[in-house]
């Protein structure tokens, strides 16, 4: 007699495992603890075999019979359902391992050691927020260009066009890695070139006119905040390093007797050498009396940590500067680059090396921390003297104007 739902539901455990048989080789196996498993008994290749069809009540009688019938169709076509199940399970595991998210995280793990932490955080943040929720679980080889475009459109719709372009770029990097590792045929994101409106790139606000620079320098000298922030503000134009590198500077990196600062560039992971003008050395020696026993040159409120990343721009705003249109902490680099070349006539390659930019030379060298070092020592001192001259000259002009 075929089983009924009532038979299955009311079956009670016994002292030994027992079975209730249905039709066409299917039966319900009841353990001594009350567990109930659907099984199919069949023969393949002359051997008797069994196939699990699920656990009751998760799999009811009707669904168990449907699974039985699917297995018997495979048998009719000469396929062992047990082997087929293993093949499908392996394929599922492979699909999961080759999902967009799995490939993206593998690509990220290989690339991230060469990136600055802030850069890594931004890339993974974009993927986790804007891509994985929609494409993360999809096998990367099956993703089509319109699916990626839909992801980009969502980012664009919230007004983040520049981020949409960066998401597009990151997706392309993941797809190309999938191609290189044999998990995709091609980078389908390349089909989306031109699909997004061009992003409007803005440069960091900066001051490059000498008279305006003089006013800015005098404002920095008159800053009424803490001595640590005051020193950071006054050193920023002298050193023109990236703001993050300035605020995280450590005393162990400095040799004030040799007038040198050596550190690893956050963006390129290369060692960089900053020659220190006499004015910079004097400021640092003054600051050393206050923070020299600490790790960081510019400690924050928690002295075990560096100054906040927002401290420089916040100080500039307190002095009345618009950090979006006038000057920002990063703008001191543009100031130095422009004036050193246009006003002081230093060669571009010397300036670019001091900015720690990658400048390929005839020998193919991307960056050499000691290249043009003699020229850079002269340049850094001339730059510091020029800034002092600007302040002094502008002050004299202002005094004369006041008398007239």
Q: Which positions are annotated as active-site residues?
A: 242, 267, 330, 333, 357, 367
Of 71, 18, 31, 17, residue with least CA distance to 49: 71
Q: Cα 191 from chain centroid?
A: 24
Q: Is 143 exposed, middle or buried (0-12, 13-18, 19+ CB in 10 A)?
A: buried
| CB-based contact 24:38 (threshold 8 Å) | no
Contact status, residue 249 vs residue 296, Cβ threshold 8 Å:
yes
Element (H, E) at 395: helix 373-403
Interior angle at CA 98, CA 96 and CA 101, nearest 5: 80
Q: In the numeric block, which tokens belong to residue 395?
A: 């002050």
Number of Cβ within 10 Å of residue 191's Cβ equals 14
Alpha carbons 84 and 107: distance in angstroms, whole number: 32
Here the contacts of 393-402 (C-beta below 8 Å, separation 24 or greater) are 393/214, 394/211, 394/214, 394/215, 394/218, 395/214, 395/218
Distances from the Cα of 227 to the Cα of 234, 276, 290, 330, 366, angstroms: 10, 20, 9, 21, 38
Going by C-alpha positions, the residue among 395, 393, 394, 380 that lies closest to residue 238 is 380
Of 40, 39, 31, 37, the residue nearest 12 (C-alpha) = 31
Token digits of residue 279: 């004015």
d(CA 190, CA 94): 25
Q: Residue 391 is encoded by which pair of tokens?
A: 């302040």
* Contact assessment for residue 34 and residue 55, using Cβ atoms and an 8 Å cutoff: no
71 vs 52: CA distance, rounded Å: 11
Distance CA 244, CA 330 (A): 9
23-to-31, 41, 61 alpha-carbon distances in Å: 20, 11, 11
181, two tokens: 């590792």
Q: 3 Cβ partners below 8 Å, 6+ apart?
A: 20, 21, 22, 28, 61
């Amino acid at each position: 007699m075929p089983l009924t739902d009532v038979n299955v539901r009311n079956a009670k455990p016994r002292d030994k495992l027992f079975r209730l048989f249905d039709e066409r080789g299917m039966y319900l196996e009841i353990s001594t603890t009350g567990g109930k498993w659907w099984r199919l008994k069949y023969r393949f290749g002359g051997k008797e075999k069994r196939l699990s069809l699920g656990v009751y009540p998760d799999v009811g009688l009707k669904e168990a019979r449907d699974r039985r019938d699917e297995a018997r169709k495979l048998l009719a076509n000469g396929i062992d359902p047990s082997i087929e199940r293993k093949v499908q399970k392996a394929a599922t595991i492979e699909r999961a391992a080759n999902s967009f998210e799995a490939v993206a995280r593998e690509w990220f793990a290989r690339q991230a050691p060469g990136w600055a932490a802030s850069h890594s955080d931004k890339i993974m943040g974009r993927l986790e927020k804007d891509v994985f929720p929609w494409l993360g679980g999809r096998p990367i080889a099956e993703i089509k260009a319109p699916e990626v475009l839909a992801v980009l459109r969502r980012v664009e719709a919230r007004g983040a066009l520049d981020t949409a372009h960066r998401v597009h770029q990151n997706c392309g990097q993941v797809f190309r890695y999938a191609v290189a590792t044999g998990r995709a045929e091609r980078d389908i994101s390349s089909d989306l070139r031109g699909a997004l409106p061009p992003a409007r790139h803005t440069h960091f606000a900066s001051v490059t006119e000498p008279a305006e620079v003089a006013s800015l320098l005098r404002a920095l000298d008159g800053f009424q905040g803490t001595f640590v922030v005051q020193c950071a503000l006054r050193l920023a134009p002298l050193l023109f390093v990236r703001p993050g590198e300035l605020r995280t500077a450590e005393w162990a990196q400095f040799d004030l007797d040799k007038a040198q600062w050596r550190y690893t560039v956050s963006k390129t992971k290369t060692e960089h050498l900053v020659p220190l003008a006499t004015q910079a050395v004097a400021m640092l020696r003054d600051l050393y009396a206050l923070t020299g026993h600490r790790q960081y040159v510019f400690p924050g409120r928690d002295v075990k940590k560096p100054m906040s990343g927002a401290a420089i721009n916040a100080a500039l705003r307190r002095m009345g500067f618009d950090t979006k249109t006038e000057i920002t902490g990063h703008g001191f680099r543009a100031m130095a680059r422009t004036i050193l070349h246009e006003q002081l006539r230093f060669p571009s390659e010397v300036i670019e090396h001091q900015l720690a930019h990658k400048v390929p030379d005839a020998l193919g060298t991307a960056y050499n921390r000691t290249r043009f070092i003699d020229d850079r020592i002269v340049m850094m001192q001339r730059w510091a003297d020029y800034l002092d001259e600007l302040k002094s000259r502008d002050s004299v002009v202002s005094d004369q104007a006041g008398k007239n």
